[in-house]
Amino acid sequence: MSNKVYQTADDALFDIRDGAVIMLGGFGLCGIPENAISALLKKGTKNLTCISNNAGVDDFGIGLLLKTRQVKKMISSYVGENDEFERQLLSGELEVELIPQGTLATRCLASGYGLPAVFLPAGVGTEVADGKETRVFGDKTYLLEYAFDADYALVKAWKGDKYGNLIFRGTARNFNPMMAMAGKITIAEVEHLVEPGELDPNEIHTPGIYVHRIFQGNGYEKRIEQRTVRPRT
Amino acid sequence: MLDKFGIAKRIAQELKDGYYVNLGIGIPTLVANYIPKNIYVTLQSENGLLGMGPFPFEGDEDADIINAGKQTVTTLPGSSFFDSAMSFGMIRAGKVDLTVLGAMEVAENGDIANWKIPGKMVKGMGGAMDLVAAAKNIIVAMQHTNKAGESKLLPACTLPITGLRCVKKIVTELAVIEVLPNGGGFKLLERAPGVSVEHIRKATAGKLTVPDDVPEMLIH
């Protein structure tokens, strides 16, 4: 098997060029590819189109790439947890396409399953439906939604082996498995990179066939957006 | 008249044993605090968790376990995690029994507007459009009127629509209202304690059917 293991995020992202379309896993700041984002920041890659459920916060996640004006377009379901995003949107510097969350996830899924398009109900009768083909099944109307075409998928997993098999943890799974399946080149960063055989095949969430490059991430901050607790009684 | 906790308590009475329920952000989230003790309800969080537990004890927060409002939560015995495509898949396939959402406006045909106010910063629809397009039973928790005192129960939505003909019931500080099928309009089911039918009529701009006898809500 060809070697999928890269030593650093910089090595793994070596060929991402200006203008690339990249998917980034994560929900809010949970399960985001922290190391890959740092590498993009360092590389200074520009005019990126980012497909990601959210756009980070001012000083973390994709928010870091917005601050350095590396993002041309965001394709997301919920944004605006950061002031810089709002400023760039209102000034016209940043293009934003808003997509219902389930539609976003399913369009990634379609890519990974080799489906050119799927019929989905979200957004029927709303501005999301503008210009889209519709079809009625039973008594319900659906929109024709196309699979994404992304150059790269940057995903974050809990554990991975050198063949690219991935296991996610908790709700940090979110968009990562579908995006891993959808990238023309999928780059996975993991908290624990292990030898083939160390992961139980029964517990693999994403088979290595979908993962082209993998590296051991480090320095994970795993920032919490809304720390909510109850007192010990 | 009810406060937001009263609205949540009244909605909790709609839960049945064995229900899988998705609670939106705001008043809907409070419903979890009033689930009757004699039934078992599983909460779905659309970022990929079934069997959502309470907030963690101080010091036990886990950045990998959050709810759709990005708050740290916990799991319970029998919880499961899954990806975002499966999460909306189970909603679309009608596996989730009840969805409780907030709204800015509801129309008498069940249309809902809750994601965008023209002229204000648009943050996105998140999972709202997926939920309203697919959920089989949607209850809206909201105030009967907006801050300007104008009715939020309208003949037609004035704000950008989130989904069409999907709301089945509305619980406000004044009333429990059913949305009749086939464009039949609103029907008053219950009054909040101390609220008159006349008061509810005045606060409802859409077509409202008022039966002869409208009982007062029982809030425990």
Sorting pLDDT into bands at 50, 70 and 90, what band is B220? confident
Position B54 scores a pLDDT of 94
- Domain CATH for B56: 3.40.1080.10
| Joined tokens for residue A222 | 């795993």
Cβ distance of A127 and B130 shorter than 8 Å = no
Question: Which domain, by its residues, includes B130?
Answer: 4-209
Q: How far is the alpha carbon of B159 from chain A, nearest alpha carbon, in Å?
A: 11
The encoded tokens of residue B108 equal 């008498």
The answer, for B120 touching chain A at a CB cutoff of 8 Å, is no
Q: Is B79 on the interface with A (CB under 8 A)?
A: no
Chain A interface, best mutation among B44, B65, B129, by max A CB count within 10 A: B129
Catalytic residue among B46, B105, B173, B190: B46
Per-residue model confidence (pLDDT) at position A1: 65
Number of domains, chain B: 1
Residue B218 domain-assigned? no
Segment B201-207 shows an average pLDDT of 98
Closest Cα to residue B183, out of B150, B206, B151?
B206
**pLDDT band of A153, cuts 50, 70, 90:** very high
What residue in B sits closest to A102 (Cα-Cα)? B88
Residue B177 lies in a domain: yes
Q: Is residue B138 part of a domain?
A: yes
Q: What is the pLDDT of residue B178?
A: 98
- For residue B219, being part of any structural domain is answered with no
Give me the residue spans of the domains in chain A: 9-117+148-216
Q: Is B198 among the residues known to form the active site?
A: no
* Whole-number percent of chain A with pLDDT over 90: 93
Assigned domain for B214 exists: no
* DSSP assignments along B136-173, one per residue: S-EEEE--SB-TTS-BSEESS--SPPSBSS-EEEEE-S
The rounded percent of chain B whose pLDDT value lies above 70 is: 100
The answer to whether A121 contacts B133, with C-beta atoms less than 8 Å apart, is yes
pTM of the model: 0.96
Closest CB to A223: pick one of B63, B84, B161: B63
Smallest Cβ–Cβ distance between B81 and the set A123, A170, A225 belongs to A170
Element (H, E) at A10: helix A9-12
A220, closest residue in chain B (CA to CA) = B63
A26 torsion bin: left (phi>0), alpha (psi -120 to 50), beta (else): left
| Residue contacts between A and B (CB atoms, under 8 Å) | 178
Architecture in CATH for domain A9-117+148-216: 3-Layer(aba) Sandwich (3.40)
CB contact under 8 A, B162 and A169: no
For residue B220, being part of any structural domain is answered with no
CA distance A81 to chain B (A): 8
Question: Could you give the CA distance from residue B36 to residue B199 in angstroms, rounded to a whole number?
Answer: 30
| pLDDT beyond 90 at A233 | no
Q: Is residue B62 part of a domain?
A: yes
Per residue in A47-81, pLDDT (tens digit) is 999 999 999 999 999 999 999 999 999 999 999 77
**Closest Cα in chain B to A221:** B63
Determine which of B64, B72, B105, B164 to mutate to test the interface with A (most A C-beta atoms within 10 Å): B64
Interface test with chain B among A99, A101, A104, by most B beta carbons within 10 Å: A101
- DSSP assignment of A159-173, as one string? EEETT--EE--GGG-
Q: Does the pLDDT at position B102 exceed 70?
A: yes
Short-list B113, B171, B110, CA closest to B142: B171
- Separation between Cα atoms, residue A123 and residue A99, nearest integer Å: 9
Residue B153 resides in a domain: yes
Query: Which residues of chain A have a CB within 8 Å of the CB of B47?
Result: 27-28, 30, 171, 174
Dihedrals phi, psi of B19, to nearest 5 degrees? -65, 140
How many CB atoms are closer than 10 A to CB A65? 24
CA angle A136, B20, A157 (to 5 degrees): 85
CB A171 to CB B84 under 8 A? no
Residue type, B5: F
The nearest alpha carbon in chain B to A119 belongs to: B92
Closest CA to B85 of A69, A229, A148, A163: A148
- Sort residue B121 into left (φ over 0), alpha (ψ -120 to 50) or beta: beta
